Chain A
Amino acid sequence: MKRLKNMSFKHIVAISFCAFVFVCGVLTLTINFREVFGGLVRGYIKSPKNSSVTERLTNSLSTFDTRMNEYFILHDFALNSYGGIQKMMDKHLIDDVDPNYNVVKLKNDYLTFKSNYSEDGAGLKDYLLNLKKTCDNNNVDMLYVKKLAKGTYDWDLLPLFYPYRYTSDYTKTESDLKTAGIGVLDLDEKVQEQGIDKYSLFYKTDHHWTTKSGLWVCNQIADKLNSDYNFNVDTEKLNVDNYNVEHHSHSFLGTQGTRTGASYTEPDDFDFIYPKFSTNIDYEVRNKNIRLSGSFLDTILLNKTYEEGYHAYMPSTYDLTTIKNKESNNGKYAVFFVDSFGSVVAPFLSQTFERMDCIDLRYFSEDLGEYIQQNKPDIVIYMVNSTDEVLHDFVD
């Protein structure tokens, strides 16, 4: 008792701090033992093939450091507290440990990654022209879908005094592609034509399209395929009225939201949608050794829940997803180059094709020319922006 009386504030600070650090450390290292210490093994094994022992050890320890942060026992609380602090300070630019992932809060409260350069698709053009040659050599149609994006290219929505003025203007690239005979579907134009608020198609806390927006994109592609390519795509299978919609309020914190915390922004609503109509699919994901047959729910959405967000439909780590639709009647086969935006497009669009191969260029390592030559699809649909993905050297 006498000891307690003689304690000064610095003793109390020391005890409090040490207790906090010790308890959090013990809990993190025990409860998340596998994940944190697993990082040591993973970092060692996943090092580049010709790494020395010391390089592997350095990778191993670096992975441990990352996991200590990710699996810290109060990680979510810390993240939300951070968001609350940023909100209190009225910050509109939230810095990240990686400056490529700095988040900007626009005037309409949508979050977006800070753009660090202008883009015009020039790097994409040559790639697509080469792809066109391969398609032409194999009598395959081709369609380029210019994705819709939100971000700091929309100057009227930038925060007060925000100084970075980058542009996203694909006009010239699209014109060159059209001249070369490549079909172009510009979703920005469609949004303007139809008087849609572009941002209503996105989550506030993520840069991706909502599930219903994915259906809207499918409809734009279907209309284009029907009008310009005579594909006879059944658009009823892309009608939102033919889908079950499980609405989950404030359940989804997207990519930008997880970097700022729920206290900084309001989690989005998430619509978990799946077909009402009958479906019968052979579903294969090559690099994950997944082979399933059955309905949409028993294949594409097997064991998936709304808590996974749009990743439930097609996780971003799949290299080649093959969807064979036994209910289709148009006999068409599409190869669809996608990135994460394709996760809420390809699964639904595939219901109108007999077969759809979804290729994510970040993980697909085969020669694309050979793939197209061997498989001879009816159409190649390309829906990836040049600045998003690593483009393979495309050899015809």
Chain B
Amino acid sequence: MLFSSSTFLFAFLPIVIFIYYVFLRNHRNLQNIFLLIASLIFYAWGEVAFVFVMMLSIIANYFFGLFVSRAKNINKKKLALVLSIVFNLSILFVFKYLVFTLTNINVFFGVNLTVPNIALPIGISFFTFQAMSYVIDVYRGEEVQKSILNVGLYISFFPQLIAGPIVRYQTVAHQIVHRKENFDDFSSGVCRFIIGMGKKVLLANSLAVIADAAFDGDIANTSASFAWLGAIAYTMQIFFDFSGYSDMAIGLGKIFGFKFLENFDYPYISGSITEFWRRWHISLGSWFRDYVYFPLGGSRVKSKGRLIFNLFVVWLLTGIWHGANWTFIVWGLMYFVLLVIEKLTGMHKSTKLKPLKHIYTLLFVILGWVIFRAESLNDAIHYLGVMFGSNGVLLDNYTLFYSKENIVFLIAGLICCTPVIKYLYHKTVGKNRIVPVITYLLLMIIAFVSVVYIVKGTYNPFIYFNF
């Protein structure tokens, strides 16, 4: 089930809110059980068979958590932790990476291993990492959840189930039982949900039309300008899609009393790649930082070689996490190279030449997204070549037509990539009575237009299928 669907907006969400707040008010255990059931229904709606994979993950990680917490010595604790990591990564490997691995073994070693046809459960990377986070946090001293239902709720809670943010157990452990819902948070949650819905349905989906026309079109006859337009459109599409979904997830969490951490902080205003990854998909970056980078030693290592190795591992895994394709691995390693350069030169800390630094950051981010979006490395190289004039055509009707047709969304997208609106709001809100009224009207217009687009049935690509 998608948030941007009539079923979710007009059936699932109102029913869940109604039952949660009317019938189950003041019954925390029943509320949690109900949210768990609702989350399983939410996941099963699009993936009937794979809900059993999720339930297996819940049951297994619950018991791993118990083993880790009850283990009498550190070696048994470590063993239980290692077993849980192996179990979780095995599930991820089988569903997500087995086909890719076997295919590449066949290619590189000239063998003919049978490559099975395995469908990818949606959101498996997200809920697997959440499950691992639970066991690791218990290992690190967090109190174990005695209720399997609460573990189930943590892993499968529908707001962040299929597209994050990756909620760390330590950040929500207390909230599972002791959260306090109030109308203020509920209202903030609704407003946040509306903003996210607008980003996804209006901006991301509209910019997707340009991106898909460029990337899926006849690249041999594409002009440089259209290739750039497609790349920029995709840069904005993926931001609004992903951050829109995160906004909706954070908003939905707030509706039910949960406070999730922010996942995006205007990443495209960054002045370095280092800064970009502190603003982009923050939950993933911090997961890898806390569970991979720091245990390897992080930056506090004696040799530069070791530092580079640590960064290499993290960014290789980051690339792999995003999908089973060489494009994602190359994309991750691109950031590894840039981050190493920044770390060794200290350029990310420099305050000089800020405009140039912004341009450098954006340029590599956009080029990185081209690699990320391409179906293969070959396609990526071809597309990048076209962007820099390999087809010998600078401007064409594709650029003019798609720019003209989507000028509203292109301009809105450029503005919304920056904190301009947020800045203006905070500057004026206390000083002018009309500002809240305008904000209210804007939010209701966004909600209305988003609903119109959803009900009409407009182009609604789901870009998380790789995750």
Contact = CB atoms under 8 A, between A and B. Distances in A.
A92 B452 CA distance: 19
B86 interface: no
B187 A163 contact: no
Chain B interface SS verdict (over half): helix
A355 to B, nearest CB: 42
Interface in B148-194: 183-184, 186-191, 194
A72 B437 CA distance: 29
Most chain A CB within 10 A, of B11, B443, B444, B455, is at B455
A65 B455 contact: no
Interface string A200-239: 0000000000000000000000000000000000000000
A11 interface: yes
A79 B455 contact: yes
Interface in A55-108: 55, 57-58, 61, 64-65, 68-69, 72, 74-75, 78-79, 81-82, 85, 89, 91-93, 95-97, 99
Contacts of B303: none
A78 B454 CA distance: 9
A242 interface: no
B310 to A, nearest CB: 43
A14 B186 CA distance: 8
B440 A68 contact: no
A17 B190 contact: yes
Contact of A13 (B45, B184, B187, B397): B187
B456 interface: yes
B43 to A, nearest CB: 12
Contacts of A22: 14, 18
Contacts of A24: 10
Contacts of B454: 69
Given A68-B10, A163-B396, A163-B398, A9 B439 contact: yes
A161 B404 contact: yes
B7 A68 contact: yes
B449 A85 contact: yes
Contact of A69 (B47, B448, B457): B457
Contact of A74 (B404, B440, B455): B455
B456 A261 contact: yes
Contacts of A55: 48
B115 to A, nearest CB: 22
Most chain A CB within 10 A, of B10, B206, B454, is at B10
Contacts of A14: 183, 186-187, 189-191
Contacts of A93: 401, 405
B455 A72 contact: yes
A375 interface: no
A78 B5 CA distance: 14
Question: What class of interface size applies to chain B in its complex with A?
Answer: 35 or more
Interface string B363-393: 0000000000000000000000000000000
A16 interface: yes
Interface in A1-49: 8-14, 16-18, 20-22, 24-26, 28-29
Nearest to B197: A17
B49 interface: yes
Interface in B427-450: 436-437, 439-440, 443-444, 447-449
Given A21-B14, A69-B457, A95-B209, 8 more contacts: A10-B191, A13-B443, A61-B46, A64-B7, A85-B452, A96-B457, A161-B404, A162-B397
26 contacts: A9-B436, A13-B191, A14-B186, A14-B190, A18-B190, A20-B447, A25-B9, A25-B14, A26-B14, A29-B11, A55-B48, A61-B45, A64-B7, A65-B5, A68-B10, A69-B455, A75-B455, A78-B456, A79-B455, A89-B408, A93-B405, A95-B206, A95-B458, A160-B404, A161-B400, A163-B396
Interface of A: 8-14, 16-18, 20-22, 24-26, 28-29, 54-55, 57-58, 61, 64-65, 68-69, 72, 74-75, 78-79, 81-82, 85, 89, 91-93, 95-97, 99, 159-163, 261
